[in-house]
Each structure stands twice: as structure tokens, then as C-alpha cells.
Amino acid sequence: MKLEVIELSKSYGKKEVLKDVNITFEEGKIYGLLGRNGAGKTTFFNCLNRDVFVDEGRFYLDDEFGRNPLQTHDIGYILATPVVPEFLTGREFIQFFIDINKERIKDLKDVDYYFNLVQLKKEDQNILLKDYSHGMKNKIQILIHIIANPKVILLDEPLTSLDIIVQEEMKSLLKKMKKDHIIIFSTHILELAMDLCDELVILSHKKLEIMDKNSISSKKQKDHIIQVLKDDKND
């Protein structure tokens, strides 16, 4: 399975954010999208998810059904700031999500199975989502996308504000999920991308470029990436 992005361009007024982006992402890998704050990482995700209109660009998913335009139901978008219905408990929300989507959920499991996947304790499942910590809300976000099982998963800096234990739990879960998905993980932290991701994608000067992580293990090569990002004037 492949995700193809062809000639993507996006501007906000006179500010050009992305220009003639051509890139292909493959199944079974976690891609670390690296760029400075304001470089356009979230804009790139919003273009893929059709949350904003693009000036130019086409997106295709090449899978067992052939090469077809990317659809919104093919994408799971996990935001940096979790958005959950805070008037429900964790268990009520997950059960509600399953009930309204059960016709299209493949290999449906019971609620307890899903909670065990993200290591959410029983006592936490029955409290209101408004009382969840940031990390627990992120687990709920990820759990929704595990259940829905979209082919492409976009993560917009979801680990940055989590404590080290929850970070490690989430990284382990994402590594297990990558087998049957295309996962693109945006961050501005090089060390996190090096630890979690199979490939690095550098967003600089309005373009995206894939770099083999194994080719940038030396300090000299890391310094080169940092210099490329420093030279980016998008911020």
C-alpha cells in the first residue's frame, strides 16, 4: 500500500506554505515529519485530511483495490490537543463509537479488549473524560483509530506533552500498528523522530524530502539536518 502526494501547493493569502510537493509514503513504516514551528506540518496534514482547500494537488491511495483518490475515511487524524466528549465516561464513549460504527468495523472486539491495548485501568474507564489527564485523553484518541482502523494515520505532535511512561506506551503501540498502516508522525524533536520512526521527512523551504534514518546516524549528518531547518524561512 502506498500514499502518493502529487504537486501539492498551499498558500494562505500571500504566504506560500507548501509548493509543488511530490512524495510517496509506504505501508509498514512510521515516517517522522520534521520541521520548525510554523513550517507547515499541520497544514500538510490538514490538506491530506481535506480540512483546508488546496491550491493544487492530488492524493492517491494505491492498495489492494487499485490506485484511487484518497478519501477522508482512509485517514485517522490524531491531534496534539485531544478533542473528546467530556460529558461521557471513557467506557461510554468507546461503546458509543463502536455502536454507531459497528457495520464498518472489521474484526470487532469487545470494549475490554480495546482498553487493555492502551493499558487504561478499569477504575479510569468509568470516570468522565473531562477528568482525564492529557495522556489518558490521547490514549482514547488513539484507541478510536485502532477500532476504526484507517489505512493512513496522521499524528500531529501527540507525544510532546506526555510524561515519559505514557510516551513509551504510545511509542510501543504505534510500532505494533505500523504493519498494516501508513503512519506519519509530525514533531520538531529530532531525537524523538530518530527513536520512533523508520524514515525521516524533512519539511523545509516549502518542500518535503524523505531521508533514510540509517544514513543520518553521525553527528555531522544530524548537524546538516539542523542547518537545513535553521535555513528555512517559513517560520
Each residue's pLDDT tens digit in the chain (235 positions)?
999 999 999 999 999 999 999 999 999 999 999 988 888 999 999 999 999 999 999 999 999 999 999 999 899 998 878 889 999 999 999 999 999 998 888 888 889 999 988 888 899 999 999 999 888 888 898 899 889 999 999 999 877 667 788 788 888 888 888 988 999 999 878 888 888 888 999 998 899 988 766 666 556 566 666 666 666 665 4
Of 142, 128, 133, give the one whose Cα is nearest residue 91.
Answer: 128
Domain membership of residue 110 (yes or no) is no
- The reported pLDDT for the residue numbered 5 is 97
Q: CA-to-CA distance for 29 and 6, rounded, in angstroms?
A: 20
Q: CA-to-CA distance for 140 and 127, rounded, in angstroms?
A: 13
Domain membership of residue 29 (yes or no) is yes
109 CB contacts (<8 Å, ≥6 apart)?
none
- The reported pLDDT for the residue numbered 76 is 92
107 CB contacts (<8 Å, ≥6 apart)?
none
Residue-number span of the structural domain to which 157 is assigned: 2-81+150-231
CB 54 within 8 Å of CB 222: no
- The C-alpha cell 472489521 sits at 106
Domain membership of residue 73 (yes or no) is yes
Domain membership of residue 212 (yes or no) is yes
Secondary structure letter of residue 235 according to DSSP: -
Task: Look up the CATH number of the domain holding residue 42.
Answer: 3.40.50.300
Domain membership of residue 58 (yes or no) is yes
- The C-alpha cell 498551499 sits at 10
CB 52 within 8 Å of CB 43: yes
Domain membership of residue 52 (yes or no) is yes
- The reported pLDDT for the residue numbered 227 is 65
Domain membership of residue 27 (yes or no) is yes
CB 119 within 8 Å of CB 169: yes
**Tally of structural domains, the chain:** 1
